[in-house]
Structure 1
Amino acid sequence: MRTVLPGGPLDAARAARLLSEVRAATLAGQRSPVAPRPVIEQSWERMLRGGVDPDHDFRSGLLSREEVQRRRESTALRHVLPVLREGLLSVADVAHHIMVVADGEGRVLWREGNSSVLRKADGLGFELGADWREDVVGTNGIGTPVVVRRPVQVFASEHFHRSQTSWTCTGAPITDPRDGRLLGVVDVSGPLETMHPATLAWVDSVAKLAEARLRELHLTGLERLRAVAAPVLARLTGRALVVDRDGWTAAVTGMPYTSRIVLPKSLSPGRRWLMPLGLCAVEPLAGGWLLRPADEPVPAGATRIALDLTQPRRSSMTVSGGAGTWSHELSPRHAELLYLLALHQGGRSAAGLAEDMFGDPGRTVTVRAELSRVRRYLGGLLEHRPYRFREDAEVEVLLPEDPRELLPHSTAPAVVRGRFSAEMP
């Protein structure tokens, strides 16, 4: 038997008819005179072994808007959206395709492109929050690359599920360049007549550009953390290392270099047991952690946070602890948030902060997303449920001499009240 390879635009219809015959024979348990491509044949075999129904899928419901937003904010894919858009969208729109980005679980997180094709995709359930795992909806350009971990084009009746056979999908996995972990899949899809053989190489190239961008961001982040760490490590004696939020090492002193330390998901300052270091003193730095094995003395002294709002257009935060001092310049939104947390030392819920910032307690998704970004540099100095500074941290707010100059860019109701009342931290 020979392998079926979809041809160019001129013979797409003929290839689709031939594939339809191959699919029908395979699903009927008959011997087809022409074999599907190996990657498709292997996928169909997985579907048949798993009992996937070619006529009815059993996908779970769409993710809620809040859950889609939460996943968007927590995935590294958000950092490479500009690369994906620049590389795919302009061509996809003209070619009557759409670009879809899904996470490692096959859930659709972004969907952009030709408006008429987007409407057609709605009819296939190709919507935000939809579940496109292979064992749920059959062979497709998102779920199959997740399984085989390489780019795959699925043309017309190469789809296992009947409803998708008028569609063509081309997906490529995007992996974390640091450890090879699957982050998700970028897919270009459209009606079968829009398929072109070069689409596979095109999508794969853009996915590799996205991975290169992630590698660049990782190295830039380590360089930035290394600059913060240098004066801190210079004052220490004995063993110590500085790692980013994911445990990747930026700098070491007094000990052999280790590329990564496995950190618990909810690391906080204090004495913590970390493999392979054992008991360590853990202190937050801007964008990372200072780790010192417990056989080294830990200087005493509470952590002090100074929020400097004296400059109308430039707010900053300085953190002082046992190991030294570091500073971080704040965006206008983060300056607002930290000011509001300083107002409410006992803590504030996401709804309360949304009310303070927007006059709308329903805008909790935006608040949680911004606080997630704040935690990247404040780390364990912020607690949640409710959101607040750590109880053992001394918080000082430096205010402008004229209260009317308090965060002049801000329209947050609570900040506006603070300019003309005694509502000051």
Structure 2
Amino acid sequence: MANPPMNVARLAAVDAAQAARVLSEVREAALAGRRARVPPRPVIEQSWGRMLRSGVDPEHDFRSGLLPADEVRRRREESPLRHVLPVLREGLLSVADVARHIMVVADAEGRVLWREGSRPVLRKADGLGFELGADWREDVVGTNGVGTPVVVRRPVQVFAGEHFVRSQTSWTCTGAPITDPRDGRLIGVVDVSGPLETMHPATLAWVDSVAKLAEARLRELHLVQLERLRAVAAPVLARLAGRALAVDGDGWVAAVTGMPYVRRVALPKSLSPGHRWLPSLGSCAVEPLAGGWLLRADGEPPATAAVKVVLDFARPGRRTLTVESAAGSWSRQLSPRHAELLFLLTENPSGRGAADLAEDLFGDPTRTVTVRAEMSRIRRYLGQLLRHRPYRLSEETEVEVLLPHDPRDLLPQSTAPAVARRRPAARDEGPVRS
């Protein structure tokens, strides 16, 4: 029987020096193509496999150029993360400074935009290239607590020798992704970093909890914005006959008249006044409102076909849906669950029932309630392009799926059995080698 992955957090809490030695042995064995006496954790093993396939050199400390100060400033001003800095500071900095950690906030591209905390640790971070404007994408600097959460879209703690690049192996970092509650889009990562001996086993849960508090704050701010739009739209809608909606720039609905309430409608990439076609409404007249748009349905039935539906999973961490039609196109960043479901539908164009999809996702055909709820959410933005009984994409719609060059990089955040079968494990193809 193979040895189970090591509980790194527990070992580090007991003896940091021993943890560093064991992790170094695991790393050296994996990079040499040997079987380690203790296997790396799955999230680390999969990341190392991506690094070797993309050509990252474990012995070379590569650093891309720092962003100029004015570009860092511009990104800060445009990032929704600026609204949650007080939440992140309150939740992380008071402890981080005392415990000799630093807090790092990076954008969705892995660029460091904010960095605060213990001064000695900040100086050590400078030596690692962990500076303002630095690029800490996984495929640039290897497995780390900023770039790896961007790819797998979940919190990750990287201890010492679990870093792919040798120069980072004295460092330990814990990062959690922050997503925009309006559209599920990744907007950045918050990370707590420092020497291995200062890390606690509870750091992962701590950082993840603060990231979730930041997302909750963004959700509150969005509700305030919708309330303002509702106040603007109310007197306008009161004068209209027929179906109409007031929506914000992301398609969230503030108010409706002449139709049942819906939470959100899918909008084109660049919406402008005039007539537009939307999957859930058909042909609409689009007019600007302060803080959003007024959509007036023309009374035509929603269209049942589109020129093309494109699902883009070509790069690790990318999950984009694009619908192209004669009236324009629109795109949406998919949640991990919606990406899984739509991928499974493209694998089964004749359709899948709720029990089939539950088996595909969870290995449990009884979890149909979860599947039906998620498919209902997908239909809110795909409209008649998504059919049911069984679930399938419209037969009249051309579908294109962009997949990664290496099947092992397919939806790396997914643990769904059906996706795993399409994504062979690195160990099934022999040891990873450079």
Q: TM-score, normalised by structure 2?
A: 0.64
Residue 237 of structure 2 corresponds to 233
Question: Is the partner of 1:84 in helix, strand or coil?
Answer: helix
Matched, 1:180 2:184: yes
Structure 2 partner of 1:82:
86
* Residue 264 of structure 1: how far off its partner (Å): 3.7
| Equivalence map 1:96-115=2 (5 Å) | 96-115=100-119
Correspondence list, 1:23-422, <5 A: 23-294=27-298
- Aligned-residue identity in percent: 82
Deviation digits for residues 221-242 of structure 1 (CA, Å, limit 9, x no counterpart): 2122112211121122222210
| Aligned residue type for 2:165 | H
Letter in 2 for 1:195: M
Amino acid paired to 1:217: L
Cα distance, 1:117 vs structure 2: 1.1
- CA–CA distance in 2 between the matches of 1:57 and 1:102? 20
SS of the residue aligned with 1:153? strand
Deviation at 1:64, TM superposition (A): 2.2
**CA offsets per residue over residues 139-176 of structure 1, 9 Å max, x none?**
10011111111111101111000110010000011122
One-letter amino acid of the structure 1 residue matched with residue 25 of structure 2? E
* Kept in 2: contact 1:282–1:291 (CA 8 A): yes
Q: Which residue of 1 aligns with 2:5?
A: 3
Structure 1 residue 278: Cα displacement: 4.6
* Cα deviations by residue, 1:292-325 (Å, 9 ceiling, x for unpaired): 23569xxxxxxxxxxxxxxxxxxxxxxxxxxxxx
* d(CA) in 1 for partners of 2:19, 2:7: 8
- Whole-Å Cα distance in 1 between the matches of residues 73 and 285 of structure 2? 35
Deviations 1:155-211 (A, max 9, x none): 111100011001000001112223332221110001122111111110011111111
Instruction: State how far apart, in whole Å, the 1-side matches of 2:29 and 2:184 are.
Output: 38
SS where residue 190 of structure 1 aligns? strand
Q: In the alignment, is the contact (CA less than 8 A) between 2:12 and 2:197 conserved in 1?
A: no
Task: Report deviation, 1:37.
Answer: 1.6
Q: State the 1:269 CA deviation.
A: 3.5
Asked if 1 retains the 8 angstrom alpha-carbon contact of 2:274 and 2:286, the reply is yes
Q: Which runs of 5+ in 1 are unaligned?
A: 297-425
1:286 Cα shift?
A: 2.2
Alpha carbons 2:266, 2:279 under 8 Å: kept: yes
Q: Which moved more, 1:82-91 or 1:220-229?
A: 220-229
Distance across 2 between alignment mates of 1:246 and 1:202: 31
Contact 2:106 2:189 in 1 (8 A): yes
Quote the RMSD (CA, aligned, Å).
Answer: 2.0
Query: Which SS does the other structure have where 2:15 is aligned?
Result: helix
Larger radius of gyration between Structure 1 and Structure 2 = 1
* Structure 2, gaps ≥5 residues long: 301-434
For residues 242 and 32 of structure 1, the distance between their equivalents in structure 2, rounded to whole angstroms, comes to 59
| 1:20 maps to 2:56 | no
Per the alignment, residue 327 of structure 1 pairs with none
Q: Is the 8 A contact 2:173 2:193 kept in 1?
A: yes
- Asked if the contact 2:182–2:250 (Cα under 8 Å) also holds between the matched residues in 1, the reply is no
SS at match of 1:33: coil
C-alpha contact 1:57 1:136 (8 A) present in aligned 2: no
- Counterpart of 2:145 in 1: which secondary structure? coil
Is contact 2:12–2:18 with CA below 8 Å preserved after alignment? no
Quote the offset at 1:25 in angstroms: 1.6
Structure 1 stretch 141-150 or stretch 213-222: which is displaced more?
213-222
Deviation at 1:213, TM superposition (A): 1.3
1:42 positional shift: 1.6
Q: Check the 8 A contact 1:270/1:281 in 2, yes or no.
A: yes
Note if contact 2:242-2:297 (Cα within 8 Å) is conserved in structure 1: no
What is the distance in 2 between the residues matched to 1:30 and 1:266? 52
The letter for the 1-side match of 2:188 is G
Q: What is the CA distance between 1:274 and its match in structure 2?
A: 4.6
Q: Which amino acid aligns with 1:283?
A: E
Counterpart contact for 1:240–1:253, Cα < 8 Å? yes
Instruction: Give the direction of change, closer, same or farther, for the CA distance of 1:65–1:278 in structure 2 (3 Å limit).
Output: farther
**Partner amino acid for 1:2?**
P
Q: Higher relative contact order at CA 8 Å, sep ≥6: structure 1 or structure 2? A: 2
Distance 1:102 1:117, change over 3 A: same
Counterpart Cα distance in 1 of 2:224 and 2:63: 40
| Contact map agreement 1:9 1:196 (CA 8 A) in 2 | yes
* 1:360-388, Cα deviation, whole Å (9 max, x unpaired): xxxxxxxxxxxxxxxxxxxxxxxxxxxxx
Three-state SS of the structure 2 residue aligned to 1:154 is strand
- Length-normalised TM-score, structure 1: 0.66
Partner amino acid, structure 2, of 1:223 = E
Partner Cα separation in structure 2 for residue 110 and residue 263 of structure 1? 32
- Structure 1 residue 75 displacement after superposition: 2.3
**What is residue 374 of structure 2 aligned with on the other side?**
none
- Give the Å deviation of 1:138: 0.8
Aligned residues: 296
